[in-house]
Structure 1
Amino acid sequence: MSTSQTEGLLQQLLQEATVVARLSGQAIISFAWLWPIRGVLYTLLHPHVILSVSRTLFTSLLTSAIIFTVLAFFTYLPQAAFLSIFTGPLGPILALLLVGAESVFLVTFFARALFLEPALSQVFDTTLVSRGQNSLVRDGKTKYASSTKKEGIEGALVRPFQALSRDGLMKYLLSLPLNFVPVIGTVAFLFINGQRGGPGWHTRYFQLKGWDSARRKRFIESRKAEYTAFGMATMLFTFIPLVGLVFSFTNTVGAALWAADIEARENLIESPRANAPNSPKTNEGDVRAKAE
């Protein structure tokens, strides 16, 4: 990458940091950061949601553990020592977060394209169905199948590491040094990458809805603070040592629960029209979705 391109990315990072700082309060009060936590709880209460991809789950756990262990063995002590010079007792803790961030970066090359995305797509659909959104999944798959034949869209839909693709990878790497700044730097790192990565968790939802890029952008823009909060929370979970990659599944469940909640709210808003004399009758699946 040329010097001018690097400078351009750094300038963009500074601009994003300014925007994110303005959104920070809105992100906190949006409570969208609770959805990943709800994803963990829902998975514990409904284990069938991820047990349908148990083989991929085991592979993810093994991959995450190997990558983190190798990184920790070779890089943890030097980074902890360096950080301790500037942060004192916080050095070992911040170094652990930094190793987690680095392992997420490496996972994008080894796990995402190879085996992770198709399984996460299945988990997303299964969660939606369990929340009564059968028609959304059924109709969405039909739309997606037809668009694949016409446009050649790639098969993997859910992109939990949307922020780490192409230019996003460089921005992620350039923002990693922020973690050397005690507390504030780590929060800034999470905000910057959470804002970019948050909407990626709803890629499958947008595909099932059949939305074009313009409508997706409008939808994301209207919920920028919520997606920032959601992206930050999911990153914290994926940074957990050894099992971070496994939380991609519970994060996906949380994203699907959020999507089901959005659908239920939209159905409630549209229900007066459905009850009009000349409007079509609502099917049983939609009624169950509203009830939930």
Structure 2
Amino acid sequence: TQQLEERAKEVGQHAFQAVSSFAWLWPFRGIIFAVTNPKLFVSVRPALLKSLALSTVIFIVLLIFTYLPQMAILALITGPLAPLFAFVLIGAESVLILTLLAKPLFLEPALTQVFDATLIARGQRELVIQGKKRLGASSGGKGRDVGKALVRPLQGFTPSGIIKYALSLPLNFVPAVGTAFFILYNGVREGPGWHSRYFQLKGLTKQQRQAFIESHRPEYTAFGAFTLLLNFVPFVGLLFSFTNTIGAALWAADMEAK
């Protein structure tokens, strides 16, 4: 019992530090920057349209075939809040399916372009240029290998991450606090992934990355949690992957400037 109390206290303290860090504002700043800088999306317009179409189709399919059964189960646990929690659960499931389908097919290269373009727009052109040169040298000048190296770091979900995300979905069935724990848990796991591209451009080693992440753990939790919430938005959730990427790049540029 004492261990559970201590663990609960640690979680509460971490959540408070995450909220008070205001890092959760970066996804919203990404939205504003995207609206005021539409040129960022000219080269990735096909991926944007595919994202919108795929998000709409998957959410509608889940809504038709899984909403009522999941709401019936949740009604036994959460009572009158079941319709809301079932809606959130569908959003979480759609994120998982979209990750499996969209990112390998067309999303990853587009997100890489947007991340780099945002850094350049915020005065970090040299970081991008030097980072790409370093990647080119490390791959022995093979263009195909460079392309793969540039894309891979922006995978928000690794294979093991997808499994952990799927296994955490039942948390949404826990009354009252389940969805909050689901978002917090996945925020802790996935938050640092939004800066994988930044770490790569910087040329950080695995140990340096881990040390940096640990020193900014509450901020990454806040960022990861709110990017996940935006991805839950019906029909357009996948589009927020672009604005979340912009927010991550703005944050990286801000840290570089300091």
Q: CA deviation at 1:89?
A: 2.5
1:27-77 per-position Cα deviation (integer Å, ceiling 9, x unaligned): 011000010011011111111122321111001111111111111111011
Residue number in structure 1 paired with 2:36:
45
Change (3 A) 1:54 1:229: same
Are 1:81 and 2:72 matched, yes or no?
Answer: yes
Q: CA deviation at 1:25?
A: 1.1
Are 1:178 and 2:133 matched, yes or no?
Answer: no
Q: In 1, Cα distance between the equivalents of 2:41 and 2:235?
A: 19
TM-score (norm 1): 0.80
Q: CA deviation at 1:22?
A: 3.9
Give the counterpart of 1:124 among 102, 105, 115. 115
- The DSSP-based 3-state class of the residue aligned with 2:67 is helix
Letter in 1 for 2:152: L
Letter in 2 for 1:190: I
Are 1:27 and 2:18 matched, yes or no?
Answer: yes
Q: CA deviation at 1:150?
A: 7.8
Q: In 1, Cα distance between the equivalents of 2:244 and 2:168?
A: 23
Are 1:236 and 2:226 matched, yes or no?
Answer: no
Give the counterpart of 1:54 among 45, 49, 56. 45
Q: In 1, Cα distance between the equivalents of 2:36 and 2:155?
A: 23
Letter in 1 for 2:162: L
Q: CA deviation at 1:87?
A: 1.8
Give the counterpart of 2:106 among 107, 115, 126. 115
Residue number in structure 1 paired with 2:184:
191
Letter in 1 for 2:105: L
- The DSSP-based 3-state class of the residue aligned with 1:52 is helix
Question: Structure 1: which 5+ runs fail to align?
Answer: 1-15, 266-292
Residue number in structure 2 paired with 1:70:
61
Letter in 2 for 1:161: G
Q: In 2, Cα distance between the equivalents of 1:135 and 1:203?
A: 18
Q: In 2, Cα distance between the equivalents of 1:184 and 1:191?
A: 11
Range 119-128 or range 179-188, more displaced: 179-188
Q: CA deviation at 1:17?
A: 8.1
Q: In 2, Cα distance between the equivalents of 1:174 and 1:22?
A: 25
Letter in 1 for 2:191: G
Change (3 A) 1:51 1:75: same
Aligned residues, how many? 249
Across the aligned residues of Structure 1 and Structure 2, the Cα RMSD in angstroms comes to 2.1
Are 1:204 and 2:197 matched, yes or no?
Answer: yes
Q: In 2, Cα distance between the equivalents of 1:241 and 1:173?
A: 19
Q: In 2, Cα distance between the equivalents of 1:21 and 1:194?
A: 14
Q: CA deviation at 1:84?
A: 2.1
- The DSSP-based 3-state class of the residue aligned with 2:114 is helix
Where relative contact order (Cα < 8 A, 6+ residues apart) is larger, the structure is: 2
- Check the 8 A contact 1:50/1:249 in 2, yes or no: no
